[in-house]
Amino acid sequence: MSEVKKLATASVLSALSFIMILLAQILPIPYFWIMVSGVVIHIILQEVGVKYGGLAYLVVSLLGLILLPHPRSIMAFVTFYGCYPILKKFLDKVPSKAMRFGGKFLAIAILKGIGTLVNFFIFGLPILNFMEDSPFALIFLVGIAVNTLMGFNYDWWVGLMGKLLMDKIQKGKLSPRS
């Protein structure tokens, strides 16, 4: 694929990714649309490479930070759902299953922690809505554990949906010519 085609493909898919984040602002179940946006980033990575996937992530993140009114959904994309597919591409190449699992666990925990801290310290959003006045650290730890499990669910979902969509693209079933 030529550089012009790669750039055009990444641009169109970046626009689609941004539209998914925009839908998260107005439709119910916002995190579903943000996750779909991350799958689009995964497809860019698979179809045209890491360079264009990283650029697409940066473009969508910057557009969202500049244009969208609600910080929580775009920060979820910036701190986890958009950048994790890039990390996943590298982590999936680790030959040892235990090292791959450990790397993914560490990446998910760190990214989710960064997202929580950014939402709390920059935007003043509560870490857990039901825990604002609660001194129970156990509830917070359970929240982190559940969040990390959701991250592994996202890892599986990105891999599965990305593979299914890539198979359709390669067979020409999602092509405008069919």
What average pLDDT does this structure show over 23-48?
89
The conformational region for residue 43 under phi > 0 = left, psi -120 to 50 = alpha, else beta, is alpha
Q: What pLDDT score was predicted for residue 130?
A: 46
Confidence of residue 170 (pLDDT cuts 50, 70, 90): confident
What pLDDT is recorded for position 51? 94
Write the CATH number for 62.
1.10.1760.20
Q: Looking at residues 128-150, what average pLDDT do you find?
A: 61
Residue 143 pLDDT class (50, 70, 90 cuts): low
In the chain, the amino acid numbered 10 is A
Question: What's the whole-number mean pLDDT along residues 163-167?
Answer: 78
Work out the angle at residue 89's Cα, subtended by the Cα atoms of residues 84 and 93, and round it to the nearest 5 degrees.
Answer: 135
In a domain, 178, yes or no: no
> Distance between CA atoms of 114 and 111, rounded to whole angstroms?
5
In a domain, 176, yes or no: no
150 is a domain residue: yes
In a domain, residue 54? The reply is: yes
Residue in 103, 108, 98, 96 with CA at minimum distance from that of residue 155: 108
Does the pLDDT at position 178 exceed 50? no
- Collect all residues with Cβ–Cβ distance below 8 Å to 39 and sequence separation of at least 6: 85, 157, 158, 161, 162, 165
Res. 177: pLDDT tops 80:
no
Domain membership flag for residue 177: no
Check whether 54 has a pLDDT greater than 80. yes
Span of 4-13, 53-62, 116-125, 158-167 with lowest mean pLDDT: 116-125
The more confident residue out of 73 and 135 is 73
The tally of domains found in the chain comes to 1
Q: Does residue 70 belong to any structural domain of this protein?
A: yes
List the domain range (segments joined by +) for residue 58.
3-171
Distance CA 168, CA 158 (A): 15
Is position 12 within any domain?
Answer: yes
Residue 46 has pLDDT above 80, yes or no: yes
The predicted pLDDT at position 138 comes to 60
Q: Is residue 31 part of a domain?
A: yes
Sign of the torsion angle spanned by Cα atoms 71, 73, 74, 76: positive
Residue 172 three-state SS: coil
